[in-house]
Every structure is written in structure tokens, then in C-alpha cells.
A = this chain, B = another copy of it.
Amino acid sequence: MSPAAINHIAVVVENLEAALRFWRDALDLPLARVEDNADEAVRIAFLPLGESEIELLEPSTPDSGIARYLAKRGPGMHHLCIEVTDLGAAMQRLVAHGAELINETPRIRPDGTRYAFIHPRSTGGVLLELYELSRQPGEQA
């Protein structure tokens, strides 16, 4: 079954407050919540947009993966996450077509969501994340 929706676009920013002045205050997106993710050493702001979300990521330590990305590439879009209903089947199909997965078996978030990353070499330069999620037609993020 084809992917159903864009779940989120993650944007790496230097300063979360400055970024919120644009995305929340100037552009008028609602801010759902801000989370500290200690495992990945980032602070994340979640801004719902239709059936998707904009996620703003600020590194919380200078040696995190996101901090190194920011130092190397500058701020901007970091990855794209799309939803599939059957992650195992999607991963099998990708491998059969020669795509390079970053994790070869699904990883699991604390909330139970199964996910996997595909290497930008396979996608035309996009770090792509797949979430296994089912949603009802018309349901918002």
C-alpha cells in the first residue's frame, strides 16, 4: 500500500526562540508543544500544519549529531518523514529495489511508533524517515 501522508518535516535551527518568532508569530502556525529529547540532545518544537507537522530542532549540546549537522550544513530542512501502514512490507519493497536503509530492522519510539530511516544516497539527497501509522481518512495530525 502506498504511503498515505507527510507526517513531518524536520528543520534544524540555531535558535528555537528566533525560529518560533517566524513560524509561530509571523506565519501564525499553532505551537502544539516543545519537548526536550535527552537521547538525541535536541529541543523540538512541534507545529501542526494540516495533516502534517513542522518540527523545529535546536541542538542542546555542541557535540550532538544535530549540532554537527548544523555546523557542517547550516540551518535548514533536515529530514522528511512519511507515513506507511505496514513498515515491514515497505522496508522489504525498498530493499528489493536496491534502496539503502540506515536501520535494517524497525526501531521503536517510546510511544510505540515503529520507524526506519533511508539513506539520502538512495532518495536523491533526502534523509527520509518512515513512520508506521494508520489514520482515519481526514484525521488531522
Q: Chain A: how many interface residues by the 8 Å CB criterion? A: 49
- The answer for the CA separation of A49 and B56 in the assembled complex, in Å, is 22
Q: In the complex this chain forms, how many copies of it are found?
A: 2
A51 close to B5 (CB less than 8 A) = yes
A125 near B: Cβ within 8 Å? yes
Tell me how far the C-beta of A119 lies from the nearest C-beta in chain B, rounded to whole angstroms.
11
Q: Which residues of B contact A52 (CB under 8 A)?
A: 5-6, 50, 52
A3 near B: Cβ within 8 Å? yes
Residues on A facing B (Cβ under 8 Å): 1-6, 9, 11-14, 18-19, 21-23, 25-30, 49-52, 56, 74-77, 80, 82-83, 90, 93-94, 96-99, 120, 122-126, 137-138
